[in-house]
Amino acid sequence: MASLYERLGGEAAVNVAVERFYRRMLGDERVADYFDGVDMDRQMAKQKAFLTMVFGGPANYSGKDMRAAHAHLVTRGLNDGHVDAVIEHLGGVLKELGAADADIAEVAAIANSVRDHVLSR
Amino acid sequence: MPTIHWREQAIEAPTGQSALDALLNAGVVIPNACRAGACQSCLVRASAGELPPQAQAGLRDDQRARGEVLACRLPVNDGLHLEPAGPLSIAGELILTRRVLPTDSVAVLHLLPPPGLRPLAGQLLHLIREDGLSRPYSVASLPDDTLIELHVRQVPGGRMSTTLCDTAPIGARFGVRGPFGDCTLRDGEQDRPLLLVGVGTGLAPMLGLARDAYARGWRAPVTLIQAGLNEAALYQPEALTALTAAWPGLDWRRVVLQAPASDGVEVGDVVEAAKTSYAAAPSARVYLCGDAAVVNRLRRALFLAGASLAALHADPFTPTA
Ligand SMILES: Cc1cc2nc3c(=O)[nH]c(=O)nc-3n(C[C@H](O)[C@H](O)[C@H](O)COP(=O)(O)OP(=O)(O)OC[C@H]3O[C@@H](n4cnc5c(N)ncnc54)[C@H](O)[C@@H]3O)c2cc1C
Ligand code: HEM
Ligand code: FES
């Protein structure tokens, strides 16, 4: 059976999803501040890394990496509510792109599995 | 274990490793950010070796042809020879033939190109001074024009801009590298609207694109927004006067931040002006150029308004450090 990443459409799907996801994040005042960098290209690259990871694609992140990537955000107050918002937008984008409910749930589960690392717990 | 080369240096790396990791492990300094092929920070050039398509995804055709490649997406393979990417070759010399000063702080330059250098409107040329100082400027002319037109703002204390705007005599020669950049019109898109926003001397490439669109007989609406701090900053090069006279259908907007302004000049934030023009033609391809802070604000606002990054071209004039 195809992997989750392949079922969702692989790299092509990531490329389509990444703009929509980023637009949602920038447009949501709960989380937008954390993405407030002028360098949109770099931010897009991070969004792509994020999506590749939660789609279960080829990226080798460890919990240590996730801690390091978000540690400076935790000092700025990153909490469970923000992770919930991210997962909500992720689900929204996947639904728009026609993903199956079971796959959406699996993506959410992957995102949830690194919650403690992201929040430095 | 495959062996790759960085310039003359041989580096052994395990099969499956990316060239980026192999180079970093060997102590070579390569900028990198996403490690996912998206940010193009890790661009290098391969003079030999196998380049799988994913390692060149997102690059322009001319970059691919030169062997430029994203090291983070490139698996090591025997025989791979890598070197820094970028403008190594010098295209020849430009000769300054004419300088017009439409305002105190802007110079419109015309330069005679060396044979074979025919940059597209909107592309960049790196001008090189005698002492080696090099700076990018955007092209306002068309490839068939005899002279290349550049607009240069004199930055206070700026080395190259003072030379170009003030001290270089007519007849002065400058080295040139390029052309670079894909802030250019796409072939076969005459039925797609264009939104061109030039802030300060960011007008130069936008004027070039508007002239190019006119020459190609563009059928869809074209909007050219010229923005400046105040009305005195809205310089008007001869080519713009000629274009607006020849092309009454061009939607030419002038926007200044500070009042007062005469009739036909709007007072307000260029970001709001661009958003209204975008809302009227959301299928437009969008080009933004000029002051880096304003261009980045424009880019973000238009992206949030629905423009895809693939149809949103920005050349911020990132200042030198
Ligand atoms: C992609 C790109 C395209 C460009 N196209 C054009 C163009 O078409 N027309 C044009 O006039 N310029 C353009 N520029 C800017 C140009 O390349 C130079 O940066 C500018 O002319 C200043 O160079 P300088 O040697 O005179 O200043 P420097 O001697 O390098 O700098 C002097 C001082 O001024 C500051 N400074 C440098 N640049 C700026 C700036 N843009 N704004 C404010 N402060 C600055 C520096 O930090 C420094 O403190 C472009 C830049 C980029 C990256
Ligand atoms: C839901 C679980 C999350 C996962 C799996 C995740 C994953 C990632 C990944 C893979 C990166 C790239 C790291 C790198 O290569 O540098 C990243 C960076 C980033 N993430 Fe997350 N993330 C999560 C939650 C969040 C939340 C809730 C926020 C803020 C609201 C956030 C904001 C950021 C920012 C701003 C960056 C860029 C960091 C920088 O370089 O400055 N992330 N994330
Ligand atoms: S590190 Fe971003 S493209 Fe290679």
**Interatomic CA distance for residues A17 and B186, integer angstroms:** 25
- Chosen CATH of B194-317 out of 3.40.50.300, 3.40.50.80, 3.20.20.140, 3.90.1170.50: 3.40.50.80
Measure A6 CA to nearest chain B CA, in Å. 16
Q: What is the pLDDT of residues B122-180, one digit of tens each?
A: 998 889 898 878 888 999 999 999 999 999 999 999 999 999 999 999 999 999 877 87
Token pair of B37 as six digits: 């092929």
Chain B residues close to A49, C-beta within 8 Å: 34-36, 38
- B93-180 — its CATH code? 2.40.30.10
Q: How far is the CA of B264 from the centre of ligand 2 (A)?
A: 46
* DSSP-based helix, strand, coil % in chain B, nearest 5: 25, 30, 40
Option in B35, B39, B304 nearest A41 (CB): B39
According to CATH, the topology of domain A9-118 is: Globin-like (1.10.490)
Nearest to residue B217, comparing CAs of B245, B242, B197, B188?
B188
Look at domain B3-84 and name its CATH class. alpha beta
Q: What is the pLDDT of residues B222-231, one digit of tens each?
A: 999 999 999 9
Ligand nearest to the CA of A76: 2
**Interatomic CA distance for residues B285 and B209, integer angstroms:** 12
What residue ranges line ligand 2, CB within 6 angstroms?
Answer: A 31, 34-35, 46, 49-50, 53-54, 61, 69-70, 73, 78, 82-83, 86-87, 111, 114, 118
- Widest CA span in chain B: 72
Domain boundaries, chain A: 9-118
Question: What are the residues facing B285 on neighbouring strands?
Answer: B194
Bond into B179 cis (ω within 30):
yes
Supply the pTM of this predicted model.
0.80
| DSSP secondary structure letter of residue B268 | S
Q: How far is the CA of B168 from the centre of ligand 1 (A)?
A: 17
Q: Do B54 and A11 touch (CB under 8 A)?
A: yes
pLDDT score at B109: 98
Chain B residues close to A45, C-beta within 8 Å: 33-34, 36, 38-39
Residues 6 or more apart in contact with residue B104 via CB below 8 angstroms:
none
Q: What is the pLDDT of residues B11-58, one digit of tens each?
A: 999 998 999 999 999 988 776 666 776 656 688 999 999 898 778 877
pLDDT score at B270: 98
Token pair of B44 as six digits: 């290098």
**Interatomic CA distance for residues B93 and B88, integer angstroms:** 15
Domain boundaries, chain B: 3-84, 93-180, 194-317
**Interatomic CA distance for residues A34 and A37, integer angstroms:** 8
Residues B141-157 as b/e (b if ≥16 CB within 10 A, e otherwise) read: bbeebebbbbbbbbbee
For B313, half-sphere exposure in the C-beta direction (CA atoms, 13 angstrom radius) is: 20
Residues B265-288 as b/e (b if ≥16 CB within 10 A, e otherwise) read: beeebbbebbbebbeebeebbbbb
CB-based burial of residue B71 (10 Å sphere; 0-12 exposed, 13-18 middle, 19+ buried)?
A: buried
Token pair of B54 as six digits: 């994913």
ipTM: 0.77
pLDDT score at B89: 47
**Interatomic CA distance for residues B125 and B134, integer angstroms:** 10
Residue B88 has pLDDT above 50, yes or no: no
